Structure 1
Amino acid sequence: MMLNSSLFLLLRLLLIAFATTAATWINVGLQHVPQLETAQLMEAYEVGASTICTGLKGLTQGQGKLCQLSVDHMPSVAKGAKIGVMECQHQFHDRRWNCSTVKDESVFGPVLKIASRETAFVHAITAAGVMYSISRSCRDGQLSSCGCSRGSRPKELNRDWIWGGCGDNLEYGYKFTQAFVDAKEREKKYKKHTRELGRNLMNLRNNEAGRRAVMRRSKVNCKCHGVSGSCSLITCWEQLAPFREIGDFLLDKYDGAIEVKITRRGRLSIKDPTFSAPTPNDLIYLDDSPNYCLPNKTLGSLGTQGRVCNRTSSGMDGCNLLCCGRGYNTQKSTLRERCECKFHWCCFVECKTCVKSIDIHTCK
């Protein structure tokens, strides 16, 4: 007897989730990685960079080797992973899956074993975070092997303006992040037409989408020079956008993520031929997302019970959608806040304390 599609999907997700949840390099962002000064770098290599890198949990063999070659980059990698996780949690704060982390080396738990659009976003935002951090560290002189950007002059830039201020080094950030983050996917070889190969290619594509998001949102920044603001000289350079803009951009890509499948030739193709083929800027996924409404430790879902919702919103943060139709509880709460503040000359601010009652709605 043939299994119906929903039962088949459930069995598939269970098989995925029962697999051992492996450690991930993103875990570096949750560890303490000391910032090494230039004078300390030689000492670090003398005592053995391998000692420092061995102490970092979650690195694959290839990433460990890159760590030893560029041990001064690791604080920036850690910072990039951390801002990627924090941005993920900001972007999904009001959604059923809120990018929650667990207390082990997998960081996100079994949920990343599923090749869903949420997994696609995590790969993209953390790759973007590392590229962002490395590019900025180059500009700030924190890394021994790079400095200010040497990017080419934009064609549309005014010919009288000087190109070459100390910009963020996106080119170096891209290349190092590609080598480090993608190392995990490039260390193993998989047979054609296997799920493992499909997942491998999916991760690489989403890593690339994250890096491209950083480049697409970067902009040219210019500054005037001259006596009393005469602006007799203008210097321009390439500058990273605020990381929030990159997160917003990737969330749009998440909402429009494209479902793909692995072909017999070992390539990815769109599952629904009526859709356009994904570009390198798009996020892709292989599996439908699990049901995040109810807690399921096997699948890594915490459920939405007890989550605060917005009774008047029709969006994802609304009680109807966030609570998955189960309804919500309402509790009165007293809020104390400063109000009616006045500035007194000179020099202090005097405020009153206002008390108001508010309703807090939580999912059943």
Structure 2
Amino acid sequence: MDASQSLRFILTITLLACSSQRPAHANSWWSLAMNPIQRPEMYIIGAQPLCSQLTGLSQGQRKLCQLYQDHMVYIGEGAKTGIKECQYQFRQRRWNCSTVDNTSVFGRVMQIGSRETAFTYAISAAGVVNAISRACREGELSTCGCSRAARPRDLPRDWLWGGCGDNVNYGYRFAREFVDAREREKNYPRGSTEHARTLMNLQNNEAGRMAVYNLANVACKCHGVSGSCSLKTCWLQLADFRRVGEFLKEKYDSAAAMRIGRRGKLELVNNRFNPPTAEDLAYIDPSPDYCLRNESTGSLGTQGRLCNKTSEGMDGCELMCCGRGYDQFKTYKHERCHCKFHWCCYVKCKRCTSLVDQFVCK
């Protein structure tokens, strides 16, 4: 082997070694959403323990897993709910919250502290609060039950308080311990870029949890003869998760651009704006260009994405395709039609097929 061949061989080995090393945060607890978890009671004596089989957990999260094994199914469900809501909220954007594999889930794009990353952390944390709170109410967890929230002051005196509500207090506290564990374990130098990213993640995790906590409201059920509603029983109920997603999407649009300050804390890039509260999203890096596929940033690009020819919004072909143009083709669309209500009590529909135009980015 001559000198040039030896050099090429060394470079090849070096590149392979580098490409096989994942960033510390690439393998995340989000992977619980992609890999279904069996319920703890399914594990027989002598089988490999549940927590040792789960990928993506930090050391602290693995300890919490060992203490609260029955919670892990719902953490996975919460992460899945968050991912689905992220994909719904961004379905008409250049970045559409696509998952790319079963470990990093969103891929390299999460290495950039952008406002999209901020939203992803927030909606994932919110999903865990939502899932754990509901599991408590349904009696699925050994360490919590129905909500014990105090009676609202503005509730009429003759209405009963104390139906089995969603335990958002417990859901919030547990999600804070579990989701933030990974960030709190990190020991980066104060004021470093890595420390700034940790602070950003903690800010957005909290914003997601607060969204679920603050949007929970009072629900009531009427009692009385023939539905007279002479008496009501009320309880605390989580808001529909779509409302949480819409709320956090608004926070995404108004997210605060931050940087690490001299005191090792995040501060506003532009002091003309108000500093973010615990309910606001924050980011430290500009968003990458999502128009073209870029392996280094993790951008998937918009080639092959469907677009709306008549829309002037982000889903329109001009913006979605980044000026590259689009192709048109025809496809068959199947939908229910001519629905009729039959007494009693069902709706019968026909299945209609139509030929429609579709537009795809070049």
Q: Structure 1: how far apart are the matches of 2:197 and 2:109?
A: 14
Q: SS state of the match for residue 233, structure 2?
A: strand
Q: SS state of the match for residue 49, structure 2?
A: helix
CA contact (8 A) 2:136 2:166 kept: yes
Q: SS state of the match for residue 74, structure 1?
A: helix
Aligned to 1:302: 300
Aligned to 1:51: 49
CA contact (8 A) 2:35 2:102 kept: no
Aligned to 1:184: 182
Letter in 2 for 1:60: S
Q: Deviations over 1:328-350 (max 9, x none)?
A: 11112333545445567899977
The alignment status of 1:105 with 2:103, answered yes or no, reads yes
Aligned to 2:284: 286
CA contact (8 A) 2:34 2:102 kept: no
* Pairing partner for 1:34 from 24, 38, 48: 38
Could you tell me how far 1:297 is from its partner in structure 2?
1.5
Aligned to 2:6: none
Most deviating of 206-215 and 352-361: 352-361
Alignment of 1:1-364 (within 5 A): 20=23, 22-36=26-40, 40=41, 51-341=49-339, 354-364=352-362
Q: Structure 2: how far apart are the matches of 1:238 and 1:99?
A: 31
- What is the TM-score normalised by the length of structure 1? 0.88
Aligned to 2:5: none
Q: Deviations over 1:237-287 (max 9, x none)?
A: 100011111001101111111100001111011000111111111100000
Q: Structure 2: how far apart are the matches of 1:346 and 1:143?
A: 40
Could you tell me how far 1:356 is from its partner in structure 2?
3.1
CA contact (8 A) 1:195 1:262 kept: yes
CA contact (8 A) 2:169 2:213 kept: no
CA contact (8 A) 1:162 1:235 kept: yes
Could you tell me how far 1:152 is from its partner in structure 2?
1.1
CA contact (8 A) 2:256 2:268 kept: yes
Q: Structure 2: how far apart are the matches of 1:211 and 1:348?
A: 40
Letter in 2 for 1:163: W
Q: Residues 162, 341 of structure 1: CA spacing in aligned structure 2 closer, same or farther, 3 A cutoff?
A: closer
- What is the TM-score normalised by the length of structure 2? 0.89
Q: SS state of the match for residue 156, structure 1?
A: coil
Q: Deviations over 1:145-183 (max 9, x none)?
A: 000000111111112211111000000000000000000
CA contact (8 A) 1:116 1:285 kept: yes
Q: Structure 2: how far apart are the matches of 1:358 and 1:263?
A: 54
Q: Structure 2: how far apart are the matches of 1:193 and 1:344?
A: 68
Letter in 2 for 1:182: D
Most deviating of 184-193 and 66-75: 184-193
For this pair of structures, how many residues does the alignment match? 341
Could you tell me how far 1:227 is from its partner in structure 2?
2.6
Q: Residues 354, 125 of structure 1: CA spacing in aligned structure 2 closer, same or farther, 3 A cutoff?
A: closer
Q: Structure 1: how far apart are the matches of 2:219 and 2:141?
A: 23
Unmatched 5+ residue regions in structure 2? 1-20
Unmatched 5+ residue regions in structure 1? 1-17
Q: Structure 1: how far apart are the matches of 2:231 and 2:345?
A: 40
Could you tell me how far 1:33 is from its partner in structure 2?
1.1
CA contact (8 A) 1:192 1:264 kept: no
Q: Residues 354, 286 of structure 1: CA spacing in aligned structure 2 closer, same or farther, 3 A cutoff?
A: same
